[in-house]
Amino acid sequence: MCLQLHNEFVHTMNGYRGNGMNRTYEASHFVAPDSDVKLPETVDWRTKGAVTPVKDQGDCGSCWAFSATGSLEGQHFRKTGQLVSLSEQNLVDCSGAYGNKGCNGGLMDYAFQYIKDNGGIDTEEAYPYTAADGDTCEFKKKNIGADDTGFVDIESGSEDALKAAVATLGPVSIAIDASNNDFHFYKSGENTLMYIDSTTVTFPMPQFNRESIYNDQLCSSKRLDHGVLLVGYGTENGQDFWLVKNSWGKSWGDEGYIKIARNAGNMCGVATAASYPLV
């Protein structure tokens, strides 16, 4: 992944627009299982076949679309046993009336509402991703890959509720603060290119261990700017973590994934704005 100057990169790639979006749609609210229900110590929905391969949003602030399709892909799999890759481009091009702004950002809940009202979303194969705003909506009903009947919001700030949701229901759409350099450089040290005033500069990246758990005290739990997909959780060397799928390609992070500290004060806002579609 080629990195641009930091501010430009954040503006382009982090397209979650929680602030400034003033539309509201009716959501159901997650009800956690009884306290005597024992949740598994480790969850990884990839091992159950509920997660499609890592995708790449390119130079387009469509992270919200990738987060939404990822959660619906998981829910559709749980319902039908079929893992179908869904079209982010369908959401980018067609959900503007619901408040989304294509490559300039959007919200996962708006995407879920569009899919409900539209009667479904096309498959990735039928409506492939272009990393750009389309001139027209090319949705075709015959190419629908999945649908939803609404969406559920999880109690904001509750890591316990989020754990219960991902353990019992499947992958969950979440929003995080991904504005810090440490997040962008979450990968084993490699040389990376940065373009500065049309000049290409090659420099070694900081030696972050991609197997380590991301724990950045500068990461905000309220200033959220990036939509991602929560696919599980666990504990490693005594430290709890969330397992998160990003949409910056497999060359980023741990083959496209990151482990974010869990039970660490809602690190990066993992539990602040979590939701999933109903199917």
Active-site residue set: 63, 226, 246
- What is the average per-residue pLDDT within 133-149? 98
Q: Find out whether 49 and 83 touch, Cβ atoms under 8 Å.
A: yes
Q: Which of the pair, 125 or 28, is modelled with greater confidence? A: 125
- What is the average per-residue pLDDT within 97-126? 97
**C-beta atoms surrounding 201 within 10 Å:** 10
Tell me the pTM: 0.87
Per-residue pLDDT at 210 exceeds 80: no
Q: How far apart are CA 268 and CA 279, in angstroms?
A: 28
How would residue 21 be classed by pLDDT, with cut points 50, 70 and 90?
Answer: low
Can you list the domains of the chain with their CATH numbers?
A: 6-278 (3.90.70.10)
Q: Count Cβ neighbours within 10 Å for each residue of 123-141 and write b for 16 or more, e otherwise.
A: bbebbebeeeeeeebebee
Task: Give residue-wise pLDDT tens across range 158-184.
Answer: 999 999 999 999 999 999 999 988 898
Please tell me the predicted confidence (pLDDT) of residue 72.
Answer: 99
